[in-house]
Structure 1
């Protein structure tokens, strides 16, 4: 497999997801991401899923999958090619308006209650075993190999998969919104990841029985719920204490009323779960 073949056959979307990088805005053909090599508040990295290339409006640079790995991993071409070897070159093709979209194949083999000892131990290590009924045990096949992990489904049917060694999304990336029929006060509690949501429910004193729960599964997914959040009278934020989380918090506080920043509870820690595990 030469460089040109790899450039065409490794999905730029899947590659970015392998680095936990997701679009801020997208449709099925194109998307906007934050820049790969700098922090910014307005996304300037445009990706064309059809051409499998990216363009940085801030620098004027054009990227393919090899150069993306180079800039993120700060490595040589040969090292980037080694990284790209993990991707499956047997690609499925989906037609959209006559165009071909290429996505790597995967198969979910089994979905069940959490039973595997390694997953039970992982939930114990994150101190959220009491909430195991809210997640699933996912067995899947990717690149000809079989894996398993803890699965948390989003509203598009995609599933966030976590274990001690992996962090990925199978299927379409999206938010998870859990509505409570008793939510007469129209309150929503927002989490960045599902382990923070499980942590919140584990901390009984902080549990709200009437609020809706919104798990972003990535702050880049916030654009999916911008309009829906306007219907809530109160928004409680449990976002990460990093630059990305703080930027999103500031944007939400600026554009919505009655926003409570709950990150002060775990000040000095990355997120609610890390604080709770060290509590």
Structure 2
């Protein structure tokens, strides 16, 4: 990614990815609290028409590159390195428009079969209970053939994950799972008044909720990116009972506050997993605790001379996660 490409990305999306939300906005501009320092009155202006910013309290402004240089206090090369690692939906949309022939394609969409993908899900605390909500997607990027867990959105695009890859294909959009009929609800979502919805940022967290829940009968809305906050807000108008399970990082906290501002009746459940970054980390810790508790109970059945051998085996179980996972 070069400066021209980075500067063409919506600065509104860049700010949102960093956890900054406007205090007021219209079609032409948006106002934010100073992203570089604490303040009580918004002095940071984003001009949406030219995708440029100006900080009135300091008398400085510029484009995306200027903003990130100041925000990260670093060089242009470091800024571009950071931008390359992000998954900006507006940049992907520009790439699709500019390229007459995309350099990627989906080769097959299957029910989950690959043992490596099943092992990855197991490491995330997920059992075959959630397999019906995902697919195995085999795809090609350039000349490289890949496979990943695929989670479909309402526009037919896919969020993709495996132990070493995190990305998406085709148009970014939210996803909605209808647990009341045990099927993915893609039709008439906006035509019916739905009683309850739970909201997650990512699909792994949503699957973690399905793994744990026993009686919830409603919808799960997966944002797939906090850049899709506005689209998520439109869908949430259809629900009477809104339950939030967003990440406990800066971006998640800001996003949660914005949703509650529009829907004051929304319930925040982040306290359930307050010691964890997200709901999946909470599930993984529960899984480890269960393994530990079962091992302790089992060890009580062994004679004293065998307990040392059993505890060594328990340690192997706890450290059996043999691959590096990318979230």
TM surpasses 0.5: yes
Contact 1:153–1:160 (CA<8 Å) still a contact in 2?
yes
Bigger Rg, structure 1 or 2 = 2
The structure-2 alpha-carbon separation of the partners of 1:168 and 1:278, relative to structure 1 and needing over 3 Å to count, comes to same
Cα distance, 1:229 vs structure 2:
1.7
Which residue number corresponds to residue 60 of structure 1?
61
Deviations 1:120-175 (A, max 9, x none): 11000011132122111112222332222111010111110111122212111110
Structure 1 residue 237 corresponds to structure 2 residue 218: no
Contact 2:17–2:226 (CA<8 Å) still a contact in 1?
no
Contact 1:161–1:168 (CA<8 Å) still a contact in 2?
yes
CA–CA distance in structure 2, aligned partners of residues 136 and 57 of structure 1: 45
More helix, by proportion: 2
Which residue number corresponds to residue 149 of structure 1?
148
Cα distance, 1:215 vs structure 2:
0.7
Q: Which moved more, 1:265-274 or 1:252-261?
A: 252-261
Which residue number corresponds to residue 139 of structure 1?
138
The DSSP-based 3-state class of the residue aligned with 2:228 is helix
TM-score by structure 2 length?
0.61
Cα distance, 1:78 vs structure 2:
6.0
Aligned counterparts, 1:99-178, within 5 A: 105-130=103-128, 131-178=130-177
Contact 1:119–1:150 (CA<8 Å) still a contact in 2?
yes
CA–CA distance in structure 1, aligned partners of residues 140 and 95 of structure 2: 15
CA–CA distance in structure 1, aligned partners of residues 224 and 204 of structure 2: 10
The structure-2 alpha-carbon separation of the partners of 1:197 and 1:254, relative to structure 1 and needing over 3 Å to count, comes to same
TM-score by structure 1 length?
0.70
Which residue number corresponds to residue 97 of structure 1?
none
The structure-2 alpha-carbon separation of the partners of 1:269 and 1:57, relative to structure 1 and needing over 3 Å to count, comes to same
Which residue number corresponds to residue 194 of structure 1?
203
Aligned counterparts, 1:246-265, within 5 A: 246-265=253-272
Contact 1:179–1:212 (CA<8 Å) still a contact in 2?
yes
The DSSP-based 3-state class of the residue aligned with 1:224 is helix
The DSSP-based 3-state class of the residue aligned with 1:278 is helix
The DSSP-based 3-state class of the residue aligned with 1:225 is helix
CA–CA distance in structure 2, aligned partners of residues 144 and 277 of structure 1: 35
The structure-2 alpha-carbon separation of the partners of 1:47 and 1:260, relative to structure 1 and needing over 3 Å to count, comes to same
CA–CA distance in structure 1, aligned partners of residues 218 and 8 of structure 2: 38
The DSSP-based 3-state class of the residue aligned with 1:151 is strand
Contact 1:155–1:177 (CA<8 Å) still a contact in 2?
yes
Q: Number of aligned pairs?
A: 254
Cα distance, 1:13 vs structure 2:
5.1
Cα distance, 1:250 vs structure 2:
1.9
Cα distance, 1:44 vs structure 2:
6.0
Cα RMSD for the two superposed structures: 4.5
CA–CA distance in structure 2, aligned partners of residues 216 and 269 of structure 1: 19
The DSSP-based 3-state class of the residue aligned with 2:120 is helix
Which blocks of at least 5 consecutive residues in structure 1 are unaligned?
A: 95-99
More strand, by proportion: 1
Contact 2:199–2:245 (CA<8 Å) still a contact in 1?
yes
The DSSP-based 3-state class of the residue aligned with 2:237 is helix
Which blocks of at least 5 consecutive residues in structure 2 are unaligned?
A: 23-27, 86-93, 182-191, 287-327
